[in-house]
Amino acid sequence: MSSLAVPQAEPVAGSTPGTDRDRPPLRRRIALVPTVTLLLGALYCLLPVAWVVIAATKSGRELFSTFTFLPGTGFADNVRDLNAYRDGVYWQWMGNSALYAGLGALLSACVSAVSGYALAVYRFRGRETLFNVLLAGVLMPPVILAVPQYLLLAQADLTDSYLSVLLPQILSPYGVYLARIYAAAAVPADVVEAGRMDGAGEWRIFTRVALPMMVPGLVTVFLFQFVAIWNNFLLPYIMLSDDEKFPITLGLFTLLEQGANSPALYTLVITGAFLAVLPLVALFLVVQRFWSLDLLSGAVKS
Amino acid sequence: MNSTARRRSYGVKGAPYAFLLPATVLFALFFALPVGYALWLSFRKVKVSGLGLGSGARTEVWAGLENYTDALSDSELLDGALRVLGYGCVVVPVMLGLALLFALMLDSEKVRLTPFTRLAIFLPYAVPGVVAALLWGFLYLPDVSPFHFVLDRLGLPRPDLLDGGPLYLALSNIAVWGGTGFNMIVIYTSLRAIPAEVYEAARLDGATPLQIALRIKIPMVAPSLVLTFFFSIIATLQVYNEPTTLKPLTNSVSTTWSPLMKVYRDAFGDGDIHGAAAQAVIIACVTLLLSFGFLRAANRRQKQEAAR
């Protein structure tokens, strides 16, 4: 199984051990065109990130007067200003995002696990119908969902609450799909059968035997959903009006909206954007090796 | 599975239904019910009697197809749809073209620094659309932009990236930037799944890496290309976050720039939930029509290729 931290698979044919000793010209040893193309792609992708890192160090005056990629001197001040902005509401937003994404993704992984397992291991009437109906959820455009979700939750008096953002994002049809594929591959039928022979109940077999086997796939489900919720903007934008409950995306957006009238807030927005990018990038660097994206393409083939 | 096992799993009849209960309940509450409700709303309207004052003056009545005919003859919605179609015609091919190119490059021989470049290109996936639009928005902003700085020093004209035609490219660029890495990884993983023997014969016949890429690799990963296309079409037609985020930075993005923004404005700005519901249903139908139309066309082509 490969992961994002990829698969340096079997040595490529053609590069026999002898070639290195013969020292062919550099061009023969490095494929120049692909390497340079990829470096250009990396440069393009890192450009805005590099910019925000540098811009976050600039004071308001420096931002508009010095060359873009020249570091400034105001990072500490910017962070202090951000902390002071509305009594540190920025950190509240970060905390909210962590809560929405962390708890939401955890619940999502649990629901996906139990559903995917049931769909993979049992044969029962209506299995494929149920699966297809759940999958159709992937295709449901968020717009046709978000507005009526708001109106329905308003009738239950649940709008503008943490639950209004959390609940609609627990079921991830995509997560159920991945969990099913993973369970089918990772949980052998005879292991389940052996559990039954030992007299274990179905739930116990699932939690004690199957669940540990499904963990790597569930990590993937968790991460996908974490990123999806963390990056979501439309749902909280529609649901929430109290900015104490905003996630970071919505918070930064409102900050930018106010900044349109007073450019002094630009430095706050930029510093805020920089600090908001950090946690996810850090998460990626740490977990990328556990993230098996080949589930995606494996899914395509079936 | 042997026959005893099959009989056994039929024996534990209740378990799968119990296991699927949470997903089913969540689906009913947060997918099926809202969709049904949106459909219901789209066929209703508010009838105002008299001056519309006092209780009972505003009643909900059956509207038939009125909301739909209104929506379809609404020039704002049509303009938004055309804008987004134009935008999608740039975003989807460029993004997936780049994703395929990078994936093939990653998969080629003797390429260096791939752990770094792969991660760097994938990185934008971790950046929320709103933040991505915000970062690029500042890079486009004349006072702060490095592009403007360089062009200025060179004495060249400085185009306004946040207006007119360039605005489309500016918005497309944000989507391309955000989506290329993820699609690259999807295509790349399916490239890695091709067994090495497949190339052996071609290589022995003296095929160049370019020929191998065009004749073998791309056809072999066609299913993932189709899938990434399919999901990219859906995502692109739903564009909302990026233009909304750029709005504070420029006057050229109206509140109805994309159809989705119009739905939001009509529902929450103007309070016309019935009209907004009809528009949302239309957008959803068009999206599904286009994406499934593409899927069918792609499948038919693949079958033809296979039959040949």
Question: How many other CB atoms are there within 10 angstroms of residue B182's CB atom?
Answer: 22
The answer to whether A282 faces chain B, any CB pair under 8 Å, is no
Exposed, middle or buried by CB within 10 Å (0-12, 13-18, 19+), for B56? exposed
Predicted confidence at residue A297, as pLDDT, reads: 47
Residue B146: pLDDT band with limits 50, 70, 90: confident
Hey, what amino acid is at A121? V
pLDDT greater than 60 at residue A22: no
The answer to whether A142 faces chain B, any CB pair under 8 Å, is yes
8 Å CB contact between A182 and A214 = yes
Rounded-to-integer distance, Cα B283 and Cα B287, Å: 6
pLDDT greater than 90 at residue B248: no
Residue A17: pLDDT band with limits 50, 70, 90: very low
Q: What is the pLDDT of residues A267-302, one digit of tens each?
A: 889 999 999 988 888 887 787 766 665 555 444 443
Q: Which residue has the higher pLDDT, A6 or B265?
A: B265
Q: Which residue has the tokens 């503008």?
A: A160
Q: Which of A92, A54, A59 is nearest to A77 (CA)?
A: A59
Question: Pick from A111, A193, A234: which is nearest to B26 by CB?
Answer: A111
User: Distance from first CA to last CA of chain B, Å, rounded?
Assistant: 37
B contact residues 263-282, partner A, Cβ 8 Å cutoff: 263-264, 267-268, 273, 276-277, 280-281
A27-48: b or e for each residue (b if 16 or more CB lie within 10 Å)?
Answer: eeeebeebbebbeebbebbebb
Q: Is residue A26 part of a domain?
A: no
How many angstroms separate the Cα of B77 from the Cα of each of B143, B250, B268?
A: 33, 21, 16
Question: Pick from B23, B177, B227: which is nearest to A111 by CB?
Answer: B23
**How far away is chain B from the Cα of A87, in angstroms, using its nearest Cα?**
22
Report the residue of B96, B117, B274 to disrupt the A interface, i.e. the one with the largest count of A CBs within 10 Å. B117
Predicted confidence at residue A19, as pLDDT, reads: 42
Residues of A in contact with B106 (CB under 8 A): 34, 38
Number of domains in chain A: 1
Residue B308: pLDDT band with limits 50, 70, 90: low
8 Å CB contact between A51 and B135 = yes
The single-letter DSSP state of residue B73 is: T
Residue A138 neighbours by CB under 8 Å, 6+ apart: A173, A174, A177
The token pair at A162 is 């943490």
Report the residue of A38, A140, A269 to disrupt the B interface, i.e. the one with the largest count of B CBs within 10 Å. A38
Q: Domain residue spans in chain B? A: 22-64, 65-307
Mean model confidence pLDDT for chain B: 86
CATH of the domain at A150: 1.10.3720.10
Predicted confidence at residue B2, as pLDDT, reads: 45
The token pair at B241 is 């976050």
Q: Is residue A240 part of a domain?
A: yes
- What DSSP letter does each residue of A152-214 carry, written as one string? HHHHTT-TTSHHHHHGGGT--HHHHHHHHHHHHHHS-HHHHHHHHHTT--HHHIIIIIIHHHH
Q: Which residue has the higher pLDDT, B153 or A243?
A: A243
Q: Which CATH architecture has domain B65-307?
A: Orthogonal Bundle (1.10)
* B114 three-state secondary structure: helix
For residue B68, give the H/E element and its range.
helix B66-72
Dihedrals phi, psi of A80, to nearest 5 degrees: -65, -45
Predicted confidence at residue A105, as pLDDT, reads: 96
Q: What is the pLDDT of residues A32-87, one digit of tens each?
A: 888 999 999 999 999 999 999 998 888 887 877 777 777 888 888 888 988 888 88
* A25 three-state secondary structure: coil
Rounded-to-integer distance, Cα B9 and Cα B23, Å: 21
Rounded-to-integer distance, Cα A250 and Cα A158, Å: 19
SS (H, E, C) B167-230: HHHHHHHHHHHHHHHHHHHHHHHHHHCCCCHHHHHHHHCCCCHHHHHHHHHHHHCHHHHHHHHH
Rounded-to-integer distance, Cα A174 and Cα B267, Å: 28
* Domain hosting residue A290, numbered range: 85-301
Residue A9: pLDDT band with limits 50, 70, 90: very low
For the segment A185-190, the average pLDDT, to the nearest whole number, is: 90
Residue B193: pLDDT band with limits 50, 70, 90: confident
Question: Pick from B10, B24, B38: which is nearest to A147 by CB?
Answer: B38
8 Å CB contact between A152 and A261 = no
**How far away is chain B from the Cα of A218, in angstroms, using its nearest Cα?**
16
Strands (E), chain B: 44-48, 58-62
Predicted confidence at residue A112, as pLDDT, reads: 96
Q: Cβ–Cβ of B128/A69 closer than 8 Å?
A: no
Q: Is residue A37 part of a domain?
A: no
8 Å CB contact between A16 and B110 = no
Rounded-to-integer distance, Cα B217 and Cα B258, Å: 37
pLDDT greater than 60 at residue A181: yes
pLDDT greater than 90 at residue B84: yes
How many angstroms separate the Cα of A172 from the Cα of each of A163, A227, B264?
A: 16, 12, 23
Q: Cβ–Cβ of A35/B200 closer than 8 Å?
A: no
Q: Is residue A201 part of a domain?
A: yes
pLDDT greater than 60 at residue B3: no
Q: Cβ–Cβ of A167/B30 closer than 8 Å?
A: yes
What dihedral angle (degrees, nearest 10) is formed by the CA atoms of B179, B181, B185, B188?
Answer: 110
Question: Pick from B33, B200, B223: which is nearest to A300 by CB?
Answer: B223
- Percent of chain A's residues with pLDDT above 90: 47
Residue B54: pLDDT band with limits 50, 70, 90: low
pLDDT greater than 60 at residue A243: yes
How many angstroms separate the Cα of B139 from the Cα of each of A49, B142, B181?
A: 11, 8, 20
Rounded-to-integer distance, Cα A116 and Cα A243, Å: 36
